[in-house]
Structures are given as structure tokens and as C-alpha cells.
Amino acid sequence: MAKMWAGRTDGQVEKIADDFNSSIRFDSRMYRQDITGSMAHAAMLAAKNIITQADADALIAGLEQILADIDSGALPIDMECEDIHMFVEQVLTQRLGDVGKKLHTARSRNDQVALDIRMYLRDEIDQLSQLVKALIDALVNKAEVYADTIMPGYTHLQRAQPITFGHHLMAYAMMLLRDMERLADCRKRMNRSPIGCCALAGTTYDTDRRMEAQQLGFEDICLNSLDGVSDRDFCVELMSDLSVLMVHLSRFSEEIILWASWEFQFVELSDAYTTGSSIMPQKKNPDMAELVRGKSGRVFGDLMALLTTLKGLPLAYNKDMQEDKEGVFDAVDTVKMCLQVFTPMIATMTAKTENMKRAAQKGFINATDLADYLVKKGLPFRSAYKISGQLVALCIKENTVLEELPLETYRQYSHLFQEDLYRDIDLVTCVEKRISEGGTSTASVKAQIAWVREFLK
Ligand code: ARG
């Protein structure tokens, strides 16, 4: 069939070229946005006397019917069409005759597609934010349960200082909160309407771009028509925000995988979020966490692909830009799927608090506190640090721990040591003393929880 754009050429394209050129396989998911945008366009055309009100009414009713028919399945989307914009217009013209041909006045597919993607992604951002929020809620609830559960805190994956599990979980809540802020910020810049930029230069018709923008819920319009049709920054921005989010989920996944290992045994994942092995009957694998960690690569890849596609494009629209959609849709779909499985996995995860505590009891995790004890008694920190280090070396040599060294031994290293040192190096004291804002004490964790809950209100 000849193309709707048959003009200079006869519109007959080789099948292989046509398939190559077509985007309907992946842009049909924007049918709702495309139709909604067209309804606003028809209303504006009538308001500005570019078409009659009767024509606009017919167009809008026709578009409404197409939307209802696609929704109900009565109108299957024809994959032989070039893209969703052409499909809708073609059906409209089939159904309305010549009136249908008036819809594309003062518009181009270039501003139309830019509009559709913005509207589509705007809705996706709202869903993504809700999903991130649900994960933060789950984390905060977990952190509350484990606000005073002692575990080793690590640097270099070496036991460093005791912390609470609640504190560790809240670290991820803070990261995800920033992700929500980033999404909101991205949405703000995305929320400007390109419709009315037309092919590239604007139009000779007396249109009202702001009326259309307002009807479609945009905060403003793109003020330069060349920029309006060639801007895909909002896709790049969204994918970079999603990449950062995936970094967070991937780091968290890595920890969950470690914690669920036989070596750590810090957490137990619900059976519902693990898998078995087809050959090793003892296995319980953290596949969900591994897949989330793995899928981060694909989201970063989507971002890189679009950056690369865009970097050499002259203004304004180029067909290369059709490559924006598959990547950005994939990134959005992937992150949504990850969040949908990650949140219940976290909500059903339990901590093996005894194991966490036992791990914190070894490894001289209270050596800093021993040094701080001497500082409190008047010794400069560097000297105290040295003595504490010597005592750790002694313990390692004698195969014991700081808690079990007799006071006489301590006093051979410094006369400042007294009986009360044992209380100061007790793990509970070590944790609960860290009351500095943002520190690991139970009180501080509870303050963080309250702050996040307030923030999310
Ligand atoms: N399918 C195209 C895309 O996704 C729509 C815009 C086509 N514009 C054009 N001048 N060929 O980018």
C-alpha cells in the first residue's frame, strides 16, 4: 500500500526497507498518549478557527472511539503500519473520511512523537516513584524491627566497627530517597510541551501552543522549535537517574547475596524469592538479587546507547532519533520489574540476629573504642591508638579477644586502664555511644526512620 506520506515519491518502499524503517513494534505502546495528544490538537485547531468546531467534534469523537476500541481489543494495532502515529491517523481517516485528513494541520510527526514520548515517560516516572517509595517503606519498616540488632560494619570488607542492622538498612533508604528526588527533578524538565514546534520551524497557522500544553498537563512549552523536536535530553536524564538507582539496587543485591551465603548466614530470604538447583539438592539460591545485580548492566547499556546515538546528530529531527524508544522503554520496564520483585524480597527477608552478633564479637571490632577509652582518660589519640593496636596484636598471638584479656595485662600497657574498660568495649556500649547525628545508635536509627517517614508524607 502507498504511504500516507506519498508525495514527491510514489510511496512504494521495498518490504525490507519498510520493515527496517518501521517503529510500530515498539512505539505502539504509546497509543494512548498519541490519541490524547491528538484530541488536544483538534480542540486547539477549532479554538483558533483553523478547523470548524464540527470537524473538531467529529475528530475528537473518532479518536475517543479508536482509544476505546484499542483498549477493548476490538481494534488490533496493524503492525504493517510505519508507526503508531500513522496507524491512528489512518484508522481515523478510514472511519471519518476527509475530516480525518484535517487532524495533521499545523503539526508534524516530529513534534508529535516528541510529545508522545514525554507524556508516556511522565506517567512512567509517576509509577517508578511509587515503586521506589514502596521499597523505602519496606526498608524503613525492616529498619525499625532491627534498630538495635548488632552486626559488624565493614570497610574493605574487613570488620571495622559494630553497627546496627537498622542503620545499614537505612543507608539504602537514604540512597533511594535521593533517587526519588532525582526522578521528580527529571519530571520537571520533561514536563514541557513540544507540540506546535511542527517539523522544525514552527508554523504559519495562528496556533495556541500553550492551550494544548495546558490541556495535556504540561507546565510550560519548549520555547525553541528546533530544540523542541530534537531534544531527547529527558530520555538521557531519566536513564541516568535509573542507572544510579540500579547502582543502588545492585550494591544492595551484592550484600544480600553475601549475607545469604553459608559463610555469612546473616539473613534468610523467603523461599518464595529464591530458587533451587536442578542437581544440588541443598541449594537455595538468591536468584532475584543476582538478576537485579545483573540487570543493572542492561540499564547502563541503554543509557550509553542513546548518548552515542545523539552525539553526532545535526539539528533538528533525524531518523536516528527513532532509536531512543527501545532503550528508554527497556530501561523503564527493567527497573520497574526489578523494584517489583526487590521490595517483597526485602519485606520477607529475616535477619539471623545471633549470627550477626557473633560475627561482631570477633575481629576486634571494638579496638577503636578501646583507644577512645584511653583518650577519655587523658591520653592523646595517636598514643592510645598505638596501645590499642599492640593489645590486638597480643590477643592474636595468644588466640584471645579484648574482652577476655585480664586487667593486669591491660595495665602492663597503660596504668590508665581500669575495671570500667570492659563496659566501654562491650558491643552494646560501642553501638549505643554513637549518638552523633546520623550515627549507628538505636536512638539515631529511630531518628532517621522518623525523618524519612516525615519526608515521604
Ligand atoms: N517513528 C518516528 C520516530 O519514532 C516518528 C517520527 C517520524 N518523523 C519523520 N520525519 N520521519 O522517530
| pLDDT tens digits, 424-436 | 999 999 999 999 9
Give the per-residue pLDDT at 1. Answer: 65
- Give 303's pLDDT tier (boundaries 50, 70, 90): very high
Give the per-residue pLDDT at 377. Answer: 96
Q: Which residues, at least 6 apart from 424, have a Cβ–Cβ distance to it below 8 Å?
A: 369, 370, 372, 373, 376, 430
Which residue's alpha carbon is at the smallest distance from atom 10 of ligand 1?
A: 110
Give the residue-averaged pLDDT of 395-405.
94
How far is residue 128's CA from residue 206's CA, in Å, rounded to a whole number?
Answer: 38
Distance 113 CA to ligand 1 centre (A): 7
* 31 phi/psi in degrees, rounded to 5: -60, -40
How far is residue 365's CA from residue 356's CA, in Å, rounded to a whole number?
Answer: 13
Q: Which helix (H) or strand (E) holds 268?
A: strand 267-268
Domain ranges of the chain: 15-105, 113-141+159-189+229-357, 367-425
- Cell for 61? 469523537
Architecture of domain 113-141+159-189+229-357: Up-down Bundle (1.20)
Give the per-residue pLDDT at 114. Answer: 98
Which residue's alpha carbon is at the smallest distance from atom 4 of ligand 1?
A: 322
What is the maximal distance between C-alpha atoms in the chain? 101
* 161 phi/psi in degrees, rounded to 5: -145, 150
Angle, to 10 degrees, between the axis of helix 31-47 and the axis of helix 84-96?
A: 60
Task: Say which range, 91-105, 285-299, 328-342, 421-435, has the weakest mean pLDDT.
Answer: 421-435
* 68 phi/psi in degrees, rounded to 5: -65, -40
Distance 296 CA to ligand 1 centre (A): 29
For ligand 1, mutation pick of 5, 110, 198, 226 (most atoms within 8 Å of CB): 110
How far is residue 456's CA from residue 429's CA, in Å, rounded to a whole number?
Answer: 32
Q: 2 by DSSP, 3-state: which?
A: coil
User: Residue 12: pLDDT above 90?
Assistant: no
- Cell for 134? 514502596
Number of C-beta neighbours around residue 22 at 10 A: 18
For residue 403, the Cα-to-chain-centroid distance in whole angstroms is 44
Closest ligand 1 atom to the C-alpha of 325?
A: 4
Distance 39 CA to ligand 1 centre (A): 20
Distance 216 CA to ligand 1 centre (A): 21
Give the per-residue pLDDT at 9. Answer: 85
Q: What percent of the chain has pLDDT over 90?
A: 94
Distance 225 CA to ligand 1 centre (A): 16
321 C-beta closer than 6 A to ligand 1: yes
Closest ligand 1 atom to the C-alpha of 82?
A: 1
User: Residue 2: pLDDT above 80?
Assistant: no
Closest of 74, 95, 96, 93 to residue 85, by C-alpha: 93
117 C-beta closer than 6 A to ligand 1: no
Give the residue-averaged pLDDT of 59-72.
98
How far is residue 390's CA from residue 405's CA, in Å, rounded to a whole number?
Answer: 13
Distance 219 CA to ligand 1 centre (A): 25
Average pLDDT across the chain, whole number: 96
- Cell for 410? 591491660
For ligand 1, mutation pick of 8, 83, 87, 121 (most atoms within 8 Å of CB): 83
Closest ligand 1 atom to the C-alpha of 83?
A: 1
How far is residue 121's CA from residue 239's CA, in Å, rounded to a whole number?
Answer: 11
87 C-beta closer than 6 A to ligand 1: no
113 C-beta closer than 6 A to ligand 1: yes
Same topology for domains 15-105 and 113-141+159-189+229-357, yes or no?
no
Which residue's alpha carbon is at the smallest distance from atom 12 of ligand 1?
A: 322
Give the per-residue pLDDT at 227. Answer: 98
User: Residue 4: pLDDT above 70?
Assistant: yes
Distance 99 CA to ligand 1 centre (A): 23
Cβ contact 228:321 at 8 Å: no
Fold topology of 367-425: Ribonucleotide Reductase Protein R1; domain 1 (1.10.40)
Closest of 300, 289, 288, 291 to residue 239, by C-alpha: 300
Cβ contact 345:273 at 8 Å: yes
In this prediction the pTM is 0.94
109 C-beta closer than 6 A to ligand 1: yes
Give the residue-averaged pLDDT of 266-276.
94
318 C-beta closer than 6 A to ligand 1: no
Q: Where are the beta strands (DSSP E) in 64-221?
A: 150-155, 158-164, 192-193, 220-221
23 C-beta closer than 6 A to ligand 1: yes
Give the per-residue pLDDT at 229. Answer: 98
Catalytic residues: 156, 277
For ligand 1, mutation pick of 113, 120, 320, 325 (most atoms within 8 Å of CB): 113
Alpha-helix runs per DSSP H in 149-286: 165-190, 209-215, 225-230, 233-259
Cβ contact 449:144 at 8 Å: yes
Given the candidates 3.40.630.30, 3.40.80.10, 1.10.275.10, 3.40.50.300, the CATH classification of the domain at 15-105 is 1.10.275.10
How far is residue 193's CA from residue 93's CA, in Å, rounded to a whole number?
Answer: 26
User: Residue 129: pLDDT above 80?
Assistant: yes
How far is residue 136's CA from residue 241's CA, in Å, rounded to a whole number?
Answer: 17
Give the residue-averaged pLDDT of 150-169.
96
83 C-beta closer than 6 A to ligand 1: yes
Q: State the sign of the Cα–Cα–Cα–Cα dihedral 73, 78, 83, 85.
A: negative
317 C-beta closer than 6 A to ligand 1: yes
Q: What is the pLDDT of residues 206-240, one digit of tens each?
A: 999 999 999 999 999 999 999 999 999 999 999 99
How far is residue 178's CA from residue 205's CA, in Å, rounded to a whole number?
Answer: 44
Distance 116 CA to ligand 1 centre (A): 11
372 C-beta closer than 6 A to ligand 1: no
Tell me the CA end-to-end span of the chain in Å, nearest whole number. Answer: 55
Which residue's alpha carbon is at the smallest distance from atom 2 of ligand 1?
A: 322
Distance 59 CA to ligand 1 centre (A): 22
Cβ contact 250:336 at 8 Å: no
